[in-house]
Amino acid sequence: MTSEKTRFMHSATTPRAAAVAGILFAILFTCCIVLLRLATPPDITDLNAWTDTTRRMVSIALALISLAGIAFLWFIGVVRDRLGAFEDRFFATVVQGSGLLFLAMTFAAFAFGAGLFAALRIEGDHITNPDAYVVGRAVMSQMFNMYALKMASVFMISLSTLWLRTGVMPRWLSYVSYAVALLMLFSLSLSVWMVLWFPAWVLVVSMYFLIMSYRQAPSDDGDGSPAPLAAN
């Protein structure tokens, strides 16, 4: 009786936890990107372009990114847990590695930007080398918009491959994930808006988890793994 109750609770709560974590990540991450994009002037060394409002927006974005990262870590864990016994070790390693690399590069880029912002706020009119800020922003842009974006694409592709192999997710969602991932992977644009494809995808997956958590019956397997879905 206790074993049956444990398996029921595991099956019932894991998809909803994944949905909550993914939705939180999508909202927080999108807010961070939008706030930074709207607040940061084209020339960060132009002190006249910075206002109290834009500085406050940047500060909020830098504070929210850590919460978004925590939610994404939870999302990685529960997405892998949903695969259960159907998980392939090779692709599971790629999923986890690419997800962690995306998060690490995102944190590094935001930390780099936070350092630039702090130096600009402290130094103020005493900035002696504006070129250093130009180089710093270019490094941040490359790290975040190029390399982190590619790791997010690999995360989506490897996870979609697992979904197709195991059948735990519908085929249409896997194919949509492939399309979005390839768009991000081969995009030559450094536009910050391109990054928003990733939280949008996480939001769609999370909403699907949330809907299915109310429809699916608990698994009959001993390990609490979800049963494969019929191909759609």
For 93-152, the pLDDT digits (tens) are 888 889 999 999 999 988 888 887 777 777 655 555 666 677 777 888 888 888 888 899
Which pair of tokens denotes residue 81? 């847990």
Amino acid letter, residue 44: I
Residue with the bigger pLDDT between 163 and 226: it is: 163
DSSP string, 22-56: HHHHHHHHHHHHHHHHHHS-S-TT-GGG--HHHHH
* Per-residue H/E/C for 103-138: HHHHHHHHHHHHHHHHHHHHHHHHCCCHHHHHHHHH
Let me know: does 203 contact 196? Beta carbons within 8 Å.
no
> What gap in Å lies between CA 8 and CA 118, rounded to an integer?
49
pLDDT tens per residue, range 18-69: 678 889 999 999 999 999 888 877 766 666 677 788 888 988 998 899 999 9
Reported confidence tier of residue 219, pLDDT bands at 50, 70, 90: very low
What pTM, to 2 d.p., does this model score?
Answer: 0.78
Q: pLDDT at position 229, please?
A: 53
pLDDT tens per residue, range 72-100: 988 887 777 666 555 566 667 888 889 99
| Residue range 153-173: mean pLDDT, rounded | 86
Q: pLDDT at position 217, please?
A: 47
Q: pLDDT at position 156, please?
A: 92
